[in-house]
Amino acid sequence: MSIKVKLENGREAEYPQGTTCMDLYRNKVTENKNLLAVLVDGKECDLNRPLTDHSEVTFVDFDSPKGADIYRHSASHVMAHAVKRLYPTAKLGIGPAIENGFYYDIDFEEPISADDLPAIEKEMKKIIKERKPIQRREMSREEAEKLFKEKNETYKLELLADLPEDAVISCYEQDDFIDLCAGPHLSHTGLIKAFKLTGLAGAYWRGSEKNPMLQRIYGTAFPSKERLQEHLLMIEEAKKRDHRKLGRELDLFSLHEEGPGFPFLHNNGMIVWQELTDFWRVEHRRAGYEEIKTPLILNRTLWEQSGHWDHYQDNMYFTEIDELDYAVKPMNCPGAMLVYKSKMHSYRDLPRRIAEMGIVHRHELSGTLHGLMRVRSFTQDDAHIFMLPDQIEDEVAGIIELMDLFYSVFGFDYRIELSTRPEKAMGAVELWDQAERLLEKVLVDRGIEYKINEGDGAFYGPKIDFHLEDCLGRNWQCGTIQLDFQMPEKFDLTYIGEDGAKHRPVVIHRVVYGSMERLMALLIEHYSGAFPAWLAPVQVAVLPVTDRSHEYAVKISEELKNEGFRVEADLRSEKVGYKIREAQVKKVPYMLVVGDREVENNQVAVRHRHEGDLGAETLTDFIVKLKKEIAEKII
């Protein structure tokens, strides 16, 4: 029996049933010589997968996201294989591919240290050199249970028990190593050309503090040593830019055991925070937003009404007031709904754009906390737009323009994802479909490139997510636009239409910065702590060459402060070279060196932290230039 196969170039051909994707490759249906796996009707599969029905086949290599994931997932299996050779009693958890790498969670009888990673790498190289075939085995649940009981793999048995009754049970085998896995994988271990184990951390089994703490080994893998080396250099640069390290050095913020997940901003950090907030406020007023402030703690009935009590309770904090249940807000949305509902609206009042710099609290597991990136208390630059159904497209387009303005100021490129209905969603499927179509139409009509992120929408509506790319090429999800038909129903929100009857508005939830704390962390790393002049905690350092110049240095500092600049005068009896180096370490944008010559000519010698000596000029000329740089927010 023959089957039709549609190939990626659009060509269709007939092949005998049971033909494998590797057979197609050997028949030269593609010119790509670096194939790793295939997509059969959109689903990732091994190259040795037999085709049993009419299919559409697309080959993937490392330069596709799915291909890179398959490559690194296979590398995680090689690592687990090496671990089992060296530590036979170790029990395996899970080992997925992640962005730019992979990890495997493992329960060791005796904990290992980073010093043990080279030995694991050495064993991995042996397995790769042996070019062990990686073969898929499908089996019954009973066979799988027997297999993993014999191997004493208790975590695999737990995963197996959680699989649906009708699930296909598959394992992947390479030599004497076998792992419960859906796949797909490379055809043999020798295809892994370059790898590195990059770290070791603790991780609760399945992310729960109630479960055992396992050891998570991180690694990365690439198809060439050159690409691996480039990535490792990027990791080293990222370590230098780590916002936790720079946060301490630049006195921006601190973290304390007395409040895990609750960061402390210092004066320098508050200056950056305030500049970001002022910029946000000016642009939002210009875009027609009004600003509100809502309470931190609200009654349980409100959270039941909003759906958070049922859908988000595990992430919330609670308290009791006057024998009634209250919750600390994890989101600002319900407060904005109450503000809207506090008065009657006409269709002429809409759209109504309500913004809030609102503090929210969410319970994050202690093992996931990370500087300012992952915290338990943070400020969201929320906005909720209440509108007529026929205003949706214009409002979404307006938000995209606003986000583009903000991100371009910081020098970020970004990509867009459309996230669709999650498994646990509120409301009718028909409304979800309508909302998804509307968001997609805005993107398509404006020629905006995007990708679909299936099942990652909020529980109340689909969303457009903005992923920023920093100077190291890393991606961070910040802005989001969420279209919501559910909350207006939950809160019985209305407006009076042209017909004199009550109608439901539509709501858009959106953030530009996302989390102020996370944005600050991102900016610290993006700029390596060297903020542009408009954000820098200290914009100008005045450095007298000798004690004779102190009076002139103080005079200049006062003039600059009166012009609104943030200035420090270094009046210590140190050599000027030392003072310059200190200002460089503090990443001050401009240094004004003043000595006898500058005093005599009523000038300042200007130094820039990156460009070095810029020559002498009058203070007036310097002020004009710096004001222009700050006003235009030049990077």
Check 308, 333, 470, 486 and give the catalytic one. Answer: 333
Q: Which of 57, 61, 94, 67 is nearest to 79 (CA)?
A: 94
* Pair of tokens at residue 187: 């055809």
Annotated catalytic, 333?
Answer: yes
CA atoms within 13 A on the CB side of 413: 9
- Is 503 catalytic? The answer is no
What DSSP line would sit under 174-186, residue for residue?
ETTEEEE------
Catalytic hit among 81, 509, 510, 579 = 509
Q: Respond yes or no: is residue 478 known to be catalytic.
A: no
With a CB cutoff of 8 Å and minimum separation 6, the contacts of 482 are 457, 458, 460, 461, 462, 463, 508, 509, 510
Report the largest interatomic distance among the alpha carbons of the chain, rounded to a whole angstrom: 98
Is residue 105 within 8 A of residue 182, CB to CB? The reply is no
* Residue 303, both tokens: 């959270």
Catalytic residue among 49, 196, 362, 421: 362
Of residues 187, 81, 76, the one with CA closest to residue 131: 187
Reading the block at residue 185, the tokens are: 């994988």
380 catalytically annotated = yes
Identify the CA nearest to 295 among candidates 354, 327, 335.
335
Q: Which two tokens stand for residue 234?
A: 């990027």
Cα separations (Å) of 323 from 317, 319, 448, 563? 16, 10, 52, 55
Strand order in the sheet with 135-139: 135-139, 169-174, 177-180
The catalytic residue among 77, 384, 467, 526 is 384
Q: Which amino acid does the sequence have at 161?
A: A
Among residues 46, 61, 179, 382, the one annotated as catalytic is: 382
The yes-or-no answer on residue 21 being catalytic is: no
Contacts of 157 (CB under 8 A, 6+ apart): 145, 148, 149
Is 424 annotated as catalytic? no
Q: Which one from 231, 463, 526, 587 is the annotated catalytic residue?
A: 463
**Cα 530 from chain centroid?**
22
Q: Listing from the earlier edge strand, what are the strands of the sheet with 567-569?
A: 567-569, 540-544, 590-594, 604-608, 612-617
User: Is position 509 annotated as part of the catalytic site?
Assistant: yes
β strands within 346-422, DSSP E: 352-361, 377-387, 413-419
Q: Which residue from 508, 288, 312 is spatially nearest to 396, judged by alpha carbons?
A: 508
Catalytic residues, by residue number, are 333, 362, 380, 382, 384, 463, 509
